[in-house]
Amino acid sequence: DGGITQSPKYLFRKEGQNVTLSCEQNLNHDAMYWYRQDPGQGLRLIYYSQIVNDFQKGDIAEGYSVSREKKESFPLTVTSAQKNPTAFYLCASSIGGASNTGELFFGEGSRLTVL
């Protein structure tokens, strides 16, 4: 089945450790996105990528890094520089380009807790 897979679903980390969240899609979408959601809040854009080997900062990129070496993969690294990393992280993708409908497809999310 086509879709977006995020892993792990739950992750615990000690302070000072980097952690990488995986996001894989088999929808052949060009554009991919990472969002952060805190309890009772909306989604805030961390990074997005419109095409392989290119990505742009979103509204809250500090303390995060990404790579886009393959079309189907857009991993997010939460670095030790992120002061408050405990949150629900959501990955999304869309077809991209001028002719697309713009519909975003989301993964099920990864919940990161820093101990």
Contact residues for other proteins, defined by CB under 8 A: 31, 33, 35, 40-45, 48, 50, 56, 58-59, 88, 90, 92, 96-98, 100-109, 111
Nearest distance in Å: CB 16, other proteins: 27
Of 84 and 101, the one with the shorter C-beta distance to other proteins is 101
If you search the block for the tokens 């509204």, which residue do you land on? 59
CB of 56 to other proteins, least distance (A): 6
Q: How far is CA 81 from CA 16, 74, 86, 109, in A?
A: 8, 20, 13, 22
| Least Å from the CB of residue 80 to other proteins | 26
* 82 or 110: CB nearest other proteins: 110
